[in-house]
Amino acid sequence: MITPTPLMRLVTGFWSFKTLAVAVELDLFTRIAGGRVVTVADLRDELGLADRPADMLLAACASLGLLERDGEGYRNSPLAEEFLVAGRPYYFGGQVRYCDVKTYLPWHRIGEALRTDRPLTWDPDTDRSAFETGDPAMLAEFWEAMFSTSIFTARTLASAYDFGQHARLLDVGGGGGAYPIELCRNFSHLKAAVYDLPHVCEIADRKIAAAGLADRIETVPGDFRAEPVLPDGYDVILLSMILHDWDEATNRELLAKCYAALPPDGVLIVSEWLLNGDRTGPAEAALMGMNMIVETEGGRNYSDVEYAAWLSDTGFSDVRVVPLDAPGANGVVVGRKR
């Protein structure tokens, strides 16, 4: 018998997110890292909470798979221990904080975004793009969110695609450098560069230095939309979570620049949440497309079929899709320059 239970799960979906967000805000998972067990009384005393909210927060986090019961208390689940403890290599808290602070409230006005076809997280009348707004603190949150999503996605890509065949990687719009950092960790011969706006390259330089990879990864300041050509001398170019920010015409122009910058037999890799060909899912890709309505002027999520066609039209051959299971992509579209 069909019931409205699935609808109830959709209606209350924000309960789960906000429970995760407040736990990250309170540093709950970092406080109890390393196998520490915390009780309701412990949480009450450390965070200044009353018994009732302390009890409900712990129970809710356990129900979401973020905590596990241990005797009279709770400890981090393997998921929380790996990804929600600050300072861990694949810490995901940046993405949680950014969505909570920057996108959650604008999503309350999604109807307005649909009716006006204008973003809600920045003002196109005063800012050139979402990546060049006048709020440095929020931009820092954004790039930290992108880094926390990208670093594990890059690890997944390193297992799914053999970069051993390449010598030099150019990450166009590479943000904080998560992909080059992770890929260079996995392929000791690889050298890489992050190509992004000057203020973003400053963030990437710090991340690269902290990773101890300044001798193998450099930053190249530039604007891939404004500059007529991309830097050359690289045999593989990566576009990760870039094309969903822009309309088809802008994307085709960027793909043409990538093709021109690559040497013969060079490879382009497009990493994205890919819609299926009949545009019925997966939900992560379709809902990211809705988020593009909130956060961009012309962005949307495209299907693997569309990306493959664009690459072929640009001149790339041997176009193929490599599936991924990662927080920032469900696949990459790969093409080789003829």
Give the ranges where the chain is alpha helix by DSSP (H).
5-11, 13-25, 28-31, 40-47, 51-63, 78-83, 93-98, 104-107, 110-116, 136-160, 178-186, 198-210, 248-261, 283-295, 304-314
Catalytic residue, chosen from 108, 189, 199, 244, is 244
Tell me which amino acid residue 152 is. F
Q: Is 108 annotated in the active site?
A: no
DSSP notation for 80-136? HHHHSSTTSTT--HHHHHHIIIIIHHHHTTHHHHHHHT--SSS-TTT-SSTTS-S-H
Q: Which residues contact 29 (CB under 8 A, 6 or more apart)?
A: 23, 66, 76, 80, 81, 84, 85
Closest C-alpha to 274, from 321, 311, 232, 227: 321
User: Contact at 8 Å (CB) between 146 and 117?
Assistant: no
Helix (H, G, I), strand (E, B) or coil at 285: helix
Q: Is the peptide bond before 282 cis (omega within 30 degrees of 0)?
A: yes
Please identify every residue annotated as catalytic. 244
